[in-house]
């Protein structure tokens, strides 16, 4: 079963921010100031800029979200 951590939206200046812990950044070789792409509609996905999406992985993620939502 995947990890499903909860994060709070923090106020930074006039914006809302979600902090990511360092151990989430390391696998993608991300550092403070790196650019991320946010893909959103009814859900928000975070993708490191320059990383190509793998369609089969996206399909697996959607299936997983469906399972997790059904368990609520």
Q: Where are the domains of the chain?
A: 10-70
DSSP H/E element including 55: helix 55-70
Identify whether the C-beta of residue 48 lies closer than 8 Å to the C-beta of residue 36: yes
| pTM confidence score | 0.61
pLDDT in tens, 11-56: 999 999 998 888 888 888 889 999 998 888 888 888 888 888 888 9
Contacts of 56-64 with CB under 8 Å at 24 or more apart are 64/2
Q: Look at residue 1 in the predicted model and tell me its pLDDT.
A: 57
Cα 48 to Cα 37: distance, rounded to the nearest angstrom: 6
Q: Which CATH number describes the domain made up of 10-70?
A: 2.10.260
């Amino acid at each position: 079963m995947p990890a499903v951590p909860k994060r709070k939206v923090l106020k930074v200046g006039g914006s809302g921010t979600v902090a990511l812990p360092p151990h989430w950044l390391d696998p993608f070789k991300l550092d403070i100031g790196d650019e991320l792409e946010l893909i959103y509609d009814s859900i928000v996905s975070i993708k490191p800029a320059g990383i190509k999406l793998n369609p089969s992985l996206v399909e697996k993620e959607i299936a997983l979200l469906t399972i997790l939502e059904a368990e609520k």
